[in-house]
Structure 1
Amino acid sequence: MTVRSAPSRGFIRLLSLLLVVAVAGTGCSRVGKMFKKDKDADEGQPVEAIYQKAHTSMTNGNWASAEVSFKRLVAQYPYGPYTEQALIETAYAQYKSGKHDDAISSIDRFIRTYPTHRNIAYLYYLRGLVNSSRDTVFLQRVWRLDVSRRDLATPTQAYNDFLIVVERYPNSRYAEDARKRMLVLRDTFARHELDAALYYLRRTADVAAADRAKYLLETYPQSRYQYDAVAVLLTAYNRLGNETLAADARRVLQQNDPSHPALNGEWPDYPSNLRKLNPFAGEKSAVDNRDELEAERQKQ
């Protein structure tokens, strides 16, 4: 009678490793076949069918799937009205999915290729929307960082995009909304200048504060923050001992914004130093404090 020895531990480990590799290889093969099958699903299909598939994905809010289908349509049918529309909707899908850099690249490429396209006004309008949203990143949503206190390069580009729509295509369906968005961006720029003026004012750099406030009034007249700029002038001139200019600023403020707290010496009301130590409090300035005070007065 022959007695067979038990398999060694090394042999068992080797066998287990081979089984794992075999299973993994089978799984990868199946996944690869699935992707290939999905990719091949659009090959040879009529352009109308691929476009309808992509459009359905758009309707359902599946932006990634729509982008993939539109790109496959362009690859198979590089010319024609469906292709031009697919290029436009690719940019929109990228914008909606937060791929802002890709969207800008797609838009710029379309504008260069089809500068006289019937929908060119929409492309400039869409580029404005994308540039308006490029700074809306995770940290801004979570920490509530004010865009006016960030780099204004992309909001400025957005303003210029909307300006193109308004000036070159005033009769287009996008012109009116572009004008409204320009006003919002204009207030953002004015707020940026006001925060800078308040920064100087807090550090008793009164001449610099007055210069920044005057720049706001000259560059962004009739903005939402114009009378806050006048309040900066009132405070700065009082500190500098220029009674004539301080009296002029007070007169303008009394005539146009008689409830402004600067008239009672209660502005600017800066956030406390304790708030700055709270990482969950978000950024806040004297302008925010005034807005909250106004909201409370309206409730009473």
Structure 2
Amino acid sequence: MNKFRLFIFSFLLILTACSKDKNNISVIKENRQDLEMVSAYKEAYIALNEGDPYFAAKKFLEAELLFPQSEWAPRSALMASYSYYLQNYYTEALANLERFLITYPNSKDIVYAEYLIAMCFYETIEDEKRDSGPIFKAKEKFSLIVKNYPNTDFALDAEFKLELIEDILAAKEMYLGRHYLKKEKWIASINRFKNVVENYDQTIFIEEALHRLVEINYRLGLDEEAQKYASILGYNYLSSDWYEKSYKVFNKDYSAQVPKKIKKDKRGVLDKFKKLFD
């Protein structure tokens, strides 16, 4: 009996010692992973600064995988997406950002991910003649940022981008309106120009849209409609080139000097993105 008790006691001591060894090994392993993660992140950041975003993206993802429970894991994922964005790999950036939103739903850096998603769509916008899909996706994302994160620099830049997107959407309507005008499809043309007047009246195309409505309605013999749009144009944009052209529709001998407009210049905040994770 005493021998049996001695055996049990010895066995328990061995188990305790093994347990301590396992804990020590676990701590050492975790520390090594932590150091490897920091090393990978640092290597990635250096590569990004030296103009090698492809290698940087690879190393940022490696850093995330090395220590997924670390607070640096979501940052590494974001920086990988940013690296993809810099080299115009928008598909890869979007896929990684969507994964980020699913993997780290409570991250304090969600706004950065949403902004970068919006920018990926924004960068794929070409012109008014091409696919409208990226335009509406970018508009949706920028609108979300303005609504959900109103007191951030990203919201300020999103508002500016939304203004540019409105210009692009208005440009698309103008392009189609002019196309129908050339084809003498009057109703289709009128509808496009009216859409600009009603929905994009803060864009640079409002004056031309009003003039086109004057021009088409006058040509169709709808003098009252033509005069209505001419009056709106004159009341709001008396000194513009388009008002001069509309005035000439009714007064063929009219001529006037119109001052040139000053263009506004605004900057975005994307260049601040990288600094958030220094």
What TM-score comes out, normalization by structure 1 length? Answer: 0.68
Partner of 2:56: 66
- Structure 1 residues 214-223 or 186-195, which shifts more? 214-223
- For 1:242, the aligned partner's letter is L
Partner of 1:236: 216
1:1-300 equivalences in 2 (<5 Å): 46-135=36-125, 147-258=127-238, 259-260=241-242, 262-263=245-246
User: 2:65, 2:73 within 8 Å by CA — same for their partners in 1?
Assistant: no
- For 2:37, the aligned partner's letter is V
The alpha carbon displacement at 1:239 in A equals 1.4
Specify the SS of the correspondent of 1:108: helix
The CA distance in 2 between the partners of 1:175 and 1:208, in whole Å, is 36
Specify the SS of the correspondent of 2:153: coil
Could you tell me which runs of 5 or more consecutive residues in structure 2 were left unpaired when the two chains were aligned.
1-31, 250-257, 263-278
What TM-score comes out, normalization by structure 2 length? Answer: 0.73
Deviations 1:186-237 (A, max 9, x none): 1100110011111111111112111111112222222111111111111110
Partner of 1:290: none
Number of residue pairs the alignment of both structures matches: 220
The CA distance in 2 between the partners of 1:212 and 1:124, in whole Å, is 32
- For 2:73, the aligned partner's letter is T
- Structure 1 residues 219-228 or 178-187, which shifts more? 219-228
Deviations 1:258-281 (A, max 9, x none): 331532659xxxxxxxxxxxxxxx
Specify the SS of the correspondent of 1:46: helix
User: 2:211, 2:229 within 8 Å by CA — same for their partners in 1?
Assistant: yes
The CA distance in 1 between the partners of 2:206 and 2:77, in whole Å, is 42
Deviations 1:127-150 (A, max 9, x none): 1111011245xxxxxxxxxx1111
**RMSD (Å), alpha carbons:** 2.3
The CA distance in 1 between the partners of 2:34 and 2:76, in whole Å, is 17
The alpha carbon displacement at 1:76 in A equals 2.1
The ranges of structure 1 where at least 4 consecutive aligned residues each deviate by more than 6 angstroms after the TM superposition are: none
The CA distance in 2 between the partners of 1:214 and 1:135, in whole Å, is 24
The alpha carbon displacement at 1:61 in A equals 2.2
User: 1:71, 1:90 within 8 Å by CA — same for their partners in 2?
Assistant: yes
Specify the SS of the correspondent of 1:216: helix
- For 2:157, the aligned partner's letter is D
User: 1:128, 1:162 within 8 Å by CA — same for their partners in 2?
Assistant: yes
The CA distance in 1 between the partners of 2:85 and 2:40, in whole Å, is 21
Change (3 A) 1:45 1:95: same
